[in-house]
Structure formats: C-alpha cells, structure tokens
Structure 1
C-alpha cells in the first residue's frame, strides 16, 4: 500500500534522506551517520509498504534511529580496546628487545641487519659481522641497537 499522496514526508523523502546521510558518512566518516541513514531507508520502506502518516513516519524514524545507533555501537569496535595485533603498521616497534645476528659490520655507527625478509638500517656501536645485537629502540625505519649480552 502506498502512503497518503498528500503526505508531507512520504517514502521518497526518507529514501533521499537515507542516501544523503550515507553519502555524508563517506565524506565525514565517523560511523554515526551510517546508522541514521539506514534508519531513514527502513523508514522509507515501511512508509512505502504500510502507508504511514507523516507523524508515524517521524516516530518510526526516531525509534529506528535509536535502535540502529545502539546496535551499531554494539557491533563496532571500541576505540580504546586492545588490539590482537598491537604492532600492525608499527613493525619496527615489535623488534625492540629482540636479538639478531649481524650479517655485515656496523661501521661509524651505521649498519644493516636482515630480519626475516627485510634489511633494516641500524645505529649502534661499531661491531663486527657475526656479532649479536639487541634492539633497544625504534626511530622510524631505523633500529637503535647495542651489543647483546654485554
């Protein structure tokens, strides 16, 4: 059943509002307008199928918006929650405290060390190839090292 043709709001108004809110979520992400946009789309669908008055449409949107935001908060990750991969996109920090063997010597405080499949720039005391070094800090893509075990 279609809504009252004299209705001020109507289903297409809700569909357009939902679309605008979803586009606004893309322009200014914050995962809040998404839920309001979905509530507006559902309100439009209800209005189209059931034929609600504009007052009922507004009340339905308000109720659906509250429900959508609560559901969204429940399924979205909490901002302060600990990650299961804390060094994702911070790989050098994951090497702090680990010990590696030098393939090449450190000369004038600068050297290279192979860690897994990557060669990292290191800074530390001059050491011969084959020496073990412990990573004590990470500065960008440069690892600060010291002689291990000494």
Structure 2
C-alpha cells in the first residue's frame, strides 16, 4: 500500500476524477462534481510536477475540494439572490395589494374570493358577497383581507 501511495501518477488522479464525475451523473446532486474536478486538477498538477510527494498531492486534493465547493456554493447563493422574479413559487404574494370581489361571504372571519379561475380562502372582517376586499397578507394558502 505504501509503495502504491509513494508512486501515485497523474493517471490515478485523472481516473479518480473520472469515476467521481461518472457517479455524479447518476444523481449525487452536485456533491461529487467538485471533488471530481479537484481530483482532475491534482492530476494535471502531478503531470506538470511529477516529483510531487503523495502527501502534497493529498493536501492539494483536500484544499482544491474545499475551494471548488466553496466557490460553487457562493456562486449559487449570489445567483439565487439576484432572481428577476422574486415572487416565483410564492403563489399568493403577487396578490397582496390587489382588490377582489367576495365570492362566498366572509362570515365569522372566514370566506372566499375568486382570483382568476381559482378560489382562495380568506380571513378578515365580515363582508357580504360582491363587496370589494383588498389582500393585505398571506399565511400559507389563506389570504388576509380588509374591506375597501
């Protein structure tokens, strides 16, 4: 085993990187991608500097794995923050501030409004059918309204 470690070649690192990238294709969710890239990077460095000891190779592999994973994590966070559609997947948030007619009377603080071709449950002051209400907040699938 020690003889093998002391004679690691760039082919070993490129092979490890290839295996990790192939495993990533089967659905690791991005975890093995950056470790595979780090292994390929160590393979390239080992090709350029063939006298590198195995300890340095493993240290480089660890450092490159962490650096590539942190780079991707930061990049993904910045991309998610800069969405051009901040209300995406928040169905009721685009309704806040808009007014709608009451579909089923709000009695005892609960009722329904019609929005497009759908009906939403609402909570708010008692209001008869047909009167206008303004959506002021969302709590899950229930909208909070006030009389207009």
TM-score range (shorter-chain normalised) is 0.5 to 0.7
Change (3 A) 1:62 1:121: closer
Quote the RMSD (CA, aligned, Å): 4.1
In the alignment, the residues of structure 2 paired with residue 138 and residue 74 of structure 1 have an alpha-carbon distance, to the nearest angstrom, of 31
Query: 1:88 deviation in Å?
Result: 1.8
Q: CA deviation at 1:83?
A: 2.4
How far apart are 1:34 and its partner, in Å? 3.5
3-state DSSP of counterpart to 1:41: helix
Give the CA deviation at 1:123.
0.8
Name the CA distance, whole Å, in 2 between partners of 1:145 and 1:134: 5
> Displacement, 1:102?
1.7
Structure having the larger proportion of residues in helix: 2
Going from structure 1 to structure 2, the CA distance change for 1:87 and 1:16 (only over 3 Å counts) comes to same
Structure 1 unaligned spans of 5+: none
In structure 2, the partner of 1:37 is 36
Structure 2 gaps, min length 5 = none
Partners of 2:20 and 2:33 within 8 A in 1: no
Q: Give TM-score scaled by structure 1 length.
A: 0.62
Equivalent position SS for 2:125: coil
- TM-score between the two structures when normalised by the length of structure 2: 0.63
Alpha-carbon spacing, 1:96–1:62, altered in 2? closer, same or farther (3 Å): same
- Residue-pair matches, total: 138
Distance 1:108 1:70 in 2: 52
Aligned partners of 1:102 and 1:130 also within 8 Å: yes
Query: What residue is the counterpart of 2:147 in the other structure?
Result: 147
Worse-superposed segment, 88-97 or 72-81? 72-81
Q: How does 1:1-150 map to 2 (within 5 A)?
A: 8-10=7-9, 11-16=11-16, 19=20, 26=28, 34-44=33-43, 52-55=50-53, 58=57, 72=72, 76-78=76-78, 81-148=81-148
